[in-house]
Amino acid sequence: MSKLVFNFKLKYSKRTKTPKNFLGGKGANLAEMEKLGLPVPPGFTISTKVCDFFYNNNKKLNQKIVKEIKKELKIIEKQSKKKLGDLKNPLLVSVRSGARVSMPGMMDTILNLGLNDETVLALADKTSNMRFAKDSYRRFIQMYANVVMGVDSYNFEELIENYKLTKGVLLDTDLDENDWDGLIKDFKEVVKKKTKKKFPQNVFNQLLGAISAVFLSWESNRAKIYRRLNHIPSSWGTAVNVQSMVFGNMGKDCATGVVFTRSPSDGSNKIYGEYLINAQGEDVVAGTRTPQYITKSANKNSLSKEKSMEEFMPKVFKQLKKILKKLENHYRDMQDVEFTVEKNKLWILQTRSGKRTAKSAVKIAIDMVKEKLISKREAILRIDPNSLDSLLHPTLDEKSEINVIAKGLPASPGAASGKVVFTSDEAERLNDTMQDTILVRVETSPEDIQGMHAAKGILTSRGGMTSHAAVVARGMGRPCVSGSNEIDINYEEKTFKTSNLTIKEGEIITIDGSTGRIILGQVSTIKPEISGDFSRLMSWADKYRKLKIRTNSETPTDTKTARDFGAEGIGLCRTEHMFFDEERILSVRQMILSKSRNDRDKALSKLLPYQKKDFVDIFKIMNGLPVTVRLLDPPLHEFLPKNENEISDVAKYLDLPVKELEGRINELHEHNPMLGHRGCRLGISFPEIYEMQCRAIFEALVECKNKKIKSTLPEIMIPLVSTEAEIKIMKDLVIKVARQVQNENKIKIKFLVGTMIELPRAAIKAQDIAKHAEFFSFGTNDLTQTTFGISRDDSGKFLNDYIENKIFDIDPFISIDDGVGDLIKIATQKGRKQNKKIKFGICGEHGGDPKSIDFCSKIGLDYVSCSPYRVPVARIAAAQAQLKK
């Protein structure tokens, strides 16, 4: 067996090549800091390998390792000029966990190890500070009993609280040496009562017990859950660091603190942190005392009356500042540093890359490139694309008063305030008079699109993160809280109830789609700041990526937003959304309900100018960029009236008896609409509908040409194709209409015809379909539904069970499943074999998911198309995919 325990001072060449894997993050960084000449208390690291041995040896340390630990302990005794258990100058150590990646708070640490009834007196003598010695001993008993012997902490906390109550003081710091002495006796009693064992007095046994306990904490429930959530393999194991103690609790010239080298919230290049005078270990985070700020300026902006470290310990502060700079330059990233001051001497106890907000991440990445610390490539790779979402939506001003009345799922980020409305109509009506609304529905359906657009936010009491409301809201960039089972909606009374409140229509609420909070009243929001840094980062990303980014959009507003965010075309323009407009829906219904071809043609000719205008508007905004238009896709009954009032209105307008209308609606009813009369099946049954749509597209092109608007190459997409014959018939139809429009206008019209691949048969038979298709666009929402045979809208009921039972790692409607991925791969291979010039893209929700984008890049698609607000996320993700290749 080779060496397994390493002094912090040991040179790298003698270690394994990947110290982090071997020494854990904390251990590797402690050694690294030692090498940089920083003041690190002496210590050694027991490698992650030993964790393996420990578990393979009945959860015991074997003799060889115990021997090595003894040897290494001797070395740090020499380095610190103290000895473990010595009665003149006792060494105390901390025993600290340290996995490869930091798992904050998940694992155990023990401080002040080496104290017993005798050494505590020696420590008091040596430091002439009995209070400090006793305070350290009681801390040690508390931690050791808890971590190693399994006695719950509250047993001790309770004793301390009672003691303070009797004595009539508030703070731990108000207790003196005699108080602690009494408590130490009580603590030891508790240990004896709870464990039937005496508190261990042999200091080396204490050490072995603590090391074993840290290894054991790797398999604690809390650690296991954290690993599962963060995809950390349990095989990694943890390292253990044994380090001589330095003391922040010896008096007023001592302190302990945590500091970031730059602001973790906004990224400004100023150190930010907190510290406590006369304190130890986790006191700063534990919240028993309110910590003070490190810098003078931070203190000035707060209400704190205490002095900042900069003022209170100016010399140490200066030294700390220098060290922070050094650490940042060395690691070339913002650092999160733990330190302790013992009698005005500064010690550094930990450094790691600091967690930060998206805003801060962007600023730091850009600044570090300017400072020549990192390259542009590194800057791009450091951004978590998903986190950018939070930069693109307004957020709540957390400084204002926030009265949370219920919670739901954080379905679409951003915050919005407005009057409660319960129907889409009402949302639209108020929007017309410039009033903000929150649309509150049990769940939403495609008819609510206009209302969702008109509202500032959407709240539903049913449905998950991929419910209609959630998906559409994300697409529109509307904040949404979905599936709040804490609210009870009553449409009739126009109210919703929380556990103790009734909210009426017209009352103002605020929803926070980033956290799922539902809040009473108006809360001020902070506008998204797409600052110079952000757009600069984007332009760098654009240089590296190969994948094009398009958007799914059909309204001029969305299209404009997407272009502002950098979309390079439209990958999916859903024409049915254009049908829901109030003025048109009647003609749409007339068209659907027509009994003869003649009647239908009449209704269609009324729709034609509307569709044409929509396309002109979109082509204009896209200014020459490609636009993929999907012909009508959903089953026709989605457009029909549902409730009695609506039915009678429509009957009146169409001059039809209500009975007849109801009969027709019944006829169109389907048992399984997802698999019903929809997509190109409509085009086969009612070619005149598709003909009208194609005519609208081509006439829009003509109009653009006449108006000297830069011409677009439209890509006409036939939905839900599964056979060669379907695409062939549809393609012929498109060509026929194109010829007609060409001849009528004496203008040459250019266009592409392609299909959506959203059925497994289409993917498997791609070689046949590619004979007639100039592009494939993978409709991964439907392809996932049809591959699994799972309806997305109903999956909320069981998806969690599937994730809990590890059947799915991730919701397949969020990240492309690898089975669905295989179908896509097959389709691209077969498609390309048939037609070398064929273009590939995807247009499902997955087009905005970084993991799926990585997949698309790997298999060589030409573009991904996503909702407008995901475009910047996709641009970064595509650049990262390329850089990682």
**Residue 42: contacted member of ligand ADP, Mg ion, none (CB under 5 to 8 Å, by partner type):** none
5: region left, alpha or beta (phi > 0 left; psi from -120 to 50 alpha)? beta
Measured from the CB atom, the residue of 8 and 686 that comes closer to ligand ADP is 8
Q: Give the helix ranges, DSSP H, for 347-392.
A: 358-370, 376-381
For Mg ion, the binding residues in 350-389 under the rule CB under 5 A are: 350
Closest approach of Cβ 332 to ligand ADP, in Å? 22
Question: What are the structure tokens assigned to 609, written together?
Answer: 């100018």
Closest approach of Cβ 282 to ligand ADP, in Å? 6
**464/793 Cα distance (integer angstroms):** 9
**544/365 Cα distance (integer angstroms):** 16
Q: State the residue for tokens 């397994």.
A: 4
**695/734 Cα distance (integer angstroms):** 9
**682/689 Cα distance (integer angstroms):** 8
**Residue 779: contacted member of Mg ion, ligand ADP, none (CB under 5 to 8 Å, by partner type):** Mg ion
Closest approach of Cβ 25 to ligand ADP, in Å? 9
Residues near 76 by beta carbon (within 8 Å), at least 6 away in sequence? 7, 42, 43, 44, 91, 93, 242, 243, 244
Residue of 468, 577, 772, 846 with catalytic role: 468
Measured from the CB atom, the residue of 104 and 819 that comes closer to ligand ADP is 104
Question: What are the structure tokens assigned to 477, written together?
Answer: 């960039």
Interaction of residue 688 with Mg ion, rule CB under 5 A: no
Q: Which of 580, 562, 543, 480 is nearest to 843 (CA)?
A: 562
For Mg ion, the binding residues in 335-354 under the rule CB under 5 A are: 338, 350
Interaction of residue 782 with Mg ion, rule CB under 5 A: yes
Quick check: 438 and 455 in contact, CB under 8 A? yes
Residue 846 is a catalytic residue:
no
Measured from the CB atom, the residue of 24 and 569 that comes closer to ligand ADP is 24
Amino acid at 803: I
Closest approach of Cβ 758 to Mg ion, in Å? 5
Measured from the CB atom, the residue of 347 and 619 that comes closer to ligand ADP is 347
Measured from the CB atom, the residue of 281 and 408 that comes closer to ligand ADP is 281
Q: Which of 468, 169, 377 is nearest to 880 (CA)?
A: 377
Q: Beta-carbon neighbour count of residue 515 at 10 Å?
A: 16
**650/646 Cα distance (integer angstroms):** 6
**Residue 395: contacted member of Mg ion, ligand ADP, none (CB under 5 to 8 Å, by partner type):** none
Interaction of residue 283 with Mg ion, rule CB under 5 A: no
**472/1 Cα distance (integer angstroms):** 59
**Residue 758: contacted member of Mg ion, ligand ADP, none (CB under 5 to 8 Å, by partner type):** Mg ion
**Residue 782: contacted member of ligand ADP, Mg ion, none (CB under 5 to 8 Å, by partner type):** Mg ion
| Residue-level length of the chain | 885
**Residue 94: contacted member of Mg ion, ligand ADP, none (CB under 5 to 8 Å, by partner type):** ligand ADP
Closest approach of Cβ 674 to Mg ion, in Å? 9
Chain CA centroid to CA 341, Å: 37
**Residue 172: contacted member of Mg ion, ligand ADP, none (CB under 5 to 8 Å, by partner type):** none
Measured from the CB atom, the residue of 115 and 756 that comes closer to ligand ADP is 115
Closest approach of Cβ 208 to ligand ADP, in Å? 18
Closest approach of Cβ 842 to Mg ion, in Å? 12
Measured from the CB atom, the residue of 102 and 559 that comes closer to Mg ion is 102
**Residue 111: contacted member of ligand ADP, Mg ion, none (CB under 5 to 8 Å, by partner type):** ligand ADP
Q: Which of 494, 499, 457 is nearest to 478 (CA)?
A: 457
Measured from the CB atom, the residue of 282 and 581 that comes closer to ligand ADP is 282
Question: What are the structure tokens assigned to 848, written together?
Answer: 């905005």
Quick check: 718 and 732 in contact, CB under 8 A? no
Interaction of residue 779 with Mg ion, rule CB under 5 A: yes
Quick check: 697 and 742 in contact, CB under 8 A? no
Residue nearest to Mg ion (CB): 782
Closest approach of Cβ 551 to Mg ion, in Å? 17
Quick check: 41 and 246 in contact, CB under 8 A? yes
Residues near 470 by beta carbon (within 8 Å), at least 6 away in sequence? 409, 411, 412, 463, 464, 480, 482
Closest approach of Cβ 427 to ligand ADP, in Å? 48
Binding flags for Mg ion, 524-563, as an x/- string (CB under 5 A): ----------------------------------------
Residues near 201 by beta carbon (within 8 Å), at least 6 away in sequence? 116, 117, 118
**80/68 Cα distance (integer angstroms):** 19
Measured from the CB atom, the residue of 338 and 811 that comes closer to Mg ion is 338
Helix (H, G, I), strand (E, B) or coil at 299: helix
Measured from the CB atom, the residue of 105 and 860 that comes closer to ligand ADP is 105
**Residue 691: contacted member of Mg ion, ligand ADP, none (CB under 5 to 8 Å, by partner type):** none
Measured from the CB atom, the residue of 135 and 338 that comes closer to Mg ion is 338
What Rg value do the Cα atoms of the chain yield, rounded? 33
Q: State the residue for tokens 């009797």.
A: 166
Closest approach of Cβ 701 to Mg ion, in Å? 25
The dihedrals phi and psi of 848, each to the nearest 5 degrees, come to: -110, 10
Query: In this chain, which of 68, 179, 691, 758 binds Mg ion, going by CB under 5 A?
Result: 758
Residue 468 is a catalytic residue:
yes
Q: Which of 211, 254, 247, 244 is nearest to 109 (CA)?
A: 211
Residues that bind ligand ADP (CB under 6 A): 41, 94, 96, 105, 109, 111, 243, 245-246, 256, 281-282, 338, 340, 349-350
**852/879 Cα distance (integer angstroms):** 13
Quick check: 114 and 84 in contact, CB under 8 A? yes
**537/541 Cα distance (integer angstroms):** 6
Helix (H, G, I), strand (E, B) or coil at 483: coil
Residue of 51, 254, 680, 843 with catalytic role: 843
Contact residues: Mg ion, CB under 5 A = 338, 350, 758, 779, 782
- Positions marked catalytic: 468, 843
